[in-house]
Structure 1
Amino acid sequence: MRVQPSLLLTSLCLLISQEIYAADAVWQRFNSPVTAELRGLSVVSSSVAWASGAQGTVLRTTDGEHWEKIAVPGAEKLDFRAIKAFSDQIAWIMSAGPGDSSRIFLTRDGGQHWEQRFVNTDPKGFWNAITVTTEGILTVFGDPDSNGLQFWQTNAQGQNLQRLPVSDALRPLENEGAFAASGTCLFQLNPQHLWAVTGGAVRARIARSSDGGQRWEMHDLPLAAGAASRGAFSVSFRDPLNGVVAGGDYKEIHYDSANLALTSDGGKNWQSIRALPAGFLSVVTHIPGTRQTVVAGGLTGSGVSRDGGLHWQQLDSTPVNTIAFADPQHGWAIGPKGLLLRYQGPALDTQSDSK
């Protein structure tokens, strides 16, 4: 069929505009091998990343382009909410759920074999997040029992999981717990400094330890609270003093309140911020290799701050569950229905921070 010149010109202009839009897009959507909800993410390098989620889902990319589904035998009904990888071969995964639905696995050969390391033997227990140090120390953050918030830790070989000491500081508020929405309600900066955030109670709070988890302090957070779906969901620190916490209400994602809090004294005092995107945020993270760049995301989209969290610019409105970066140019976001997004915007580097 012959195409009229005017129609050809219109089509060409449309094609050019689409190409410009694609080039300017901050996130690039990738084909996903699954449709399960994805919540756990660990970005190792510009080419290596792992993701995890519902229905026993574990995914991996080793070229930054193609994702493969990796089977975890016997785990098809588990919900893998957190993952920590150190290479394309070594990764820890944690499933969240009541009782023995909370489990931790380790692979050392890229997922060809998995070792079930730990199982929650408390029928009322619920694990929310893990951290693993380069020395091999694994820390687990669980919902409270009658004694207090639960923190568990292994030795340097990732063995012998034991509950850390419980003090009066860890006594829970009524209905207080943690949210396993993005695997980031627990953060470890180094072997000594740990933070964990809570919600569901009359106040959102943060637990902080500067001695590897032996002693804890609890402090209130100026975030949405007073309902089971409200509180703090994610925490990140760039050094022992400067940190950010994100939260909101996962049922009312456009709930009008401050959705971010900042500290400059290690977590004792906090300043509330209304970040972009407005509404519920399930993740906040500092970008490695930058001075003050912070990225946050949730079901209302994603945003970036280049001054440590004081001022924000919305990046996108695509709903996500979590975000992680390897460096200022290479990051991923994951979310509902197997969503896989790769960052392709301008480098979020120190030079950009200073402009």
Structure 2
Amino acid sequence: MKKYFLLAAVLFRYLPAQAQWVSQPLPAPPGSYLIQALHNITAINEKAVWVSAGKYAFRTTDSGNSWQNVTPVINDPQFRISQINSIYAAGADTAYLLAENYWTHHFLNRVYKTTDGGKIWSWLPEAYPTQITYASSRACLLYFFDKFNGVTLASRESATGYFEIYTTGDGGNTWQKVTPRQFPAPDASLDYAEPGHNFAAFGSNIWIAVKGKRILKSSDQGRSWTISHTGFAGYETVSALAFKDSHNGLACSGNSLKKTFNGGQTWVDVPYTGSLHSEMLKVLSGSNGVYVSAGRKGSSYSTDNGLTWLPIDSLNANQDIAFVNNKIGYSVNDGFVSRYQGDALNTGTPPSFGLYPNPNAGTVYLTLENAQPAAIEVFNLAGRSIFYAQTNAATSLEVDLTRQPKGIYVVRITSSSQTKLRKLILQ
């Protein structure tokens, strides 16, 4: 345990200062109870952000300095919002939300749309046109790929045994139900998804974490689907999912992390180091594949496809998070929205390098993918530097550590753009 603590200290020594978050309560009606309620957040840009918290919806257009309660006013005795399960913002004034009305063992689901900043919400009745029961289906998520094409999904419905999914190609005016022939064979015990944000999308692709550590995927904006198994061990579900492009993505289950190179068909373990928070994964907007992880005990980010996680903070509790760039981000939890305004996340192109063999007996070969000036330093677990060298646009370097004792070391390489860390084992 002491060795791992020292290793963490070595890593932390070269990381940015503790992030600063400024929190503000959402203007929910008096008496509202939002502790542990479902929260979702979607950010259009630095100024325009939409949030759902429990059965309420909120919006800001001034970078979170003020928030407006824009919850739909529904004059329909057949429908009262019990919870908003998903929210998608298409712009500062246009948004969609997926709401449910729950009563004893029954759910009624509806999709609403606003084009005036939440003053008026219109029901889109062709999605979930009939009442469905608790034992069969519950609407979970809503997402739009562009201005016109969107999809919404509910868990398995008893009538067909398949997920209940609707797609639209005209901005939600009309919806078409996906037929069973466009699905993989159903599994009565596993075809369930959870309400909220446990899905990822890129281009025309969407991936959804479902029960049984599986990933439900569509490559045509929700019109047909396949399913794959992540291979996670144990009993925990896939807790978070993110894709930086149509091929490369990450998935979490408990403290385990996996990656895919083929769009989710197969998954391999990631032997990561650092402070991964497995409740949530996002891709940093506008970056070249920088991942952000978050949860109840803080947040972190990775610039090397999940191998190394650098802390953003260890204090802010997050149920959902959205970064619009490497300087501005928003987090929502328990009725509060927090705005990140700490040091800019260092998301420049990392100095990519390899160590081989690793583990090894003391003679280490270091390779640089891009010939660029860099400084290489090796630290032991006490944080003491045991090797230092500078390269002048070299692509390889031999490091002699034969006189060092067996154990775990940290290799740091620094270029003009970024610092990168890698664990090294001598045996």
TM over 0.5: yes
* TM-score of the two chains, using structure 2 as the length reference: 0.67
Give the SS at the match of 1:346. Answer: coil
Residue 379 of structure 2: aligned partner:
none
Shift of 1:197: 1.1
Structure 1 residue aligned with 2:354 = none
Aligned to 2:400: none
Counterpart CA distance in 1 for 2:194 and 2:297 is: 18
- Checking the alignment, whether the CA contact within 8 Å between 1:289 and 1:349 is kept in structure 2 is no
Partner of 1:50: 50
| 237 and 93 in structure 1: CA distance in 2 versus 1, 3 angstrom threshold | same
Give the AA of the match of 1:334. V
Partner deviation per Cα, 1:176-199 (whole Å, 9 max, x = no partner): 41122xx32233312x32211112
Match of 1:204 among 201, 210, 213: 213
- Aligned partner of 1:130 among 142, 154, 169: 142
| Corresponding residue number in structure 2 for 1:251 | none
Aligned pair 1:261/2:258, yes or no?
yes
- Answer yes or no: is 1:291 the counterpart of 2:288: yes
**Alignment partner of 1:66 is 2:42:** no
Q: 1:349 to 1:94 in 2, by over 3 A?
A: farther
- 2:97 matched to which residue of 1? 93
Could you tell me how far apart the structure 2 residues matched to 1:233 and 1:105 are?
27
Give per-residue Cα distances to partners, 1:304-353, cap 9 Å, x unaligned.
112122211232233211111222222111112x0211112222364275
After superposition, the C-alpha distances for 1:189-221 in whole angstroms (9 at most, x for unaligned) are: 12x32211112xxx3100222233333221112
Aligned to 2:329: 331
1:271 CA displacement = 2.4
Residue 175 of structure 1: how far off its partner (Å): 4.1
CA offset at residue 117 of structure 1? Answer: 1.3
Give the superposition deviation at 1:173: 5.4
- From 11, 16, 19, the equivalent of 1:25 is 19
Q: Which residue of 2 aligns with 1:215?
A: 224
Q: 122-131 or 141-150: which moved more? A: 141-150
Q: Is this contact kept in 2: 1:41–1:324, CA < 8 A?
A: yes
Contact 1:197 1:232 in 2 (8 A): yes
For residue 304 of structure 1, give the secondary structure of its aligned residue in structure 2: strand
Cα distance, 1:212–1:292 mapped onto 2, change above 3 Å:
closer
SS at match of 2:343: coil
Q: Find the aligned partners of 2:21 and 2:219 in 1 and give their Cα distance.
A: 36
Q: Deviations over 1:99-158 (max 9, x none)?
A: 544221111001111111146322232111111122322201211234323322112232
**How high is the TM-score relative to the length of structure 1?**
0.79
* 2-structure distance, mates of 1:346, 1:150: 44
Contact 2:19 2:343 in 1 (8 A): no
8 A contact 1:293–1:348 mirrored in 2:
no
What residue identity is the alignment partner of 1:243?
G
Q: Which has the higher strand share?
A: 2
The 2-side partners of 1:219 and 1:325 are apart by 29
Number of equivalent positions: 312
Q: 1:135 to 1:110 in 2, by over 3 A?
A: closer
- Superposition deviation, residue 278 in structure 1: 5.5
Q: Structure 2, unaligned stretches of length 5 or more? A: 1-16, 351-416, 419-427
The Cα of 1:276 is off from its aligned counterpart by 5.7
Alignment of 1:219-230 (within 5 A): 219-223=228-232, 226=235, 230=236
Displacement after TM superposition at 1:277 (Å): 4.5
Structure 2: distance between partners of 1:176 and 1:224:
19
State the SS of the aligned residue for 1:42: strand
Aligned sequence identity (%): 22
2:24 is matched by which residue type in structure 1? F
CA gap 1:317/1:292 in 2 versus in 1, 3 angstroms: same
Deviating more after overlay: 97-106 vs 296-305: 97-106
* Structure number with larger C-alpha Rg: 2
Instruction: Quickly say closer, same or farther: Cα 1:29–1:76, change in 2 above 3 A.
Output: farther
Matched with 2:169 is 155
CA distance in 1, matches of 2:227, 2:82: 31
Alignment RMSD: 2.5
2:205·2:219 contact (CA, 8 Å) conserved in 1? yes
Separation (CA, whole Å) in 2 of partners of 1:186 and 1:96: 19
Match of 1:313 in 2: 310
The residue type paired with residue 41 of structure 1 is: I
Residue identity matched to 1:299: R
Question: Would the alpha carbon gap of residues 340 and 276 (structure 1) be closer, same or farther in structure 2, given more than 3 Å must change?
Answer: farther
Q: CA deviation at 1:275?
A: 7.2
Q: Is the 8 A contact 1:149 1:172 kept in 2?
A: no
**Alpha carbons of 1:157 and 1:88: their partners in 2 closer, same or farther (altered >3 Å)?**
closer
Alignment partner of 1:139 is 2:139: no
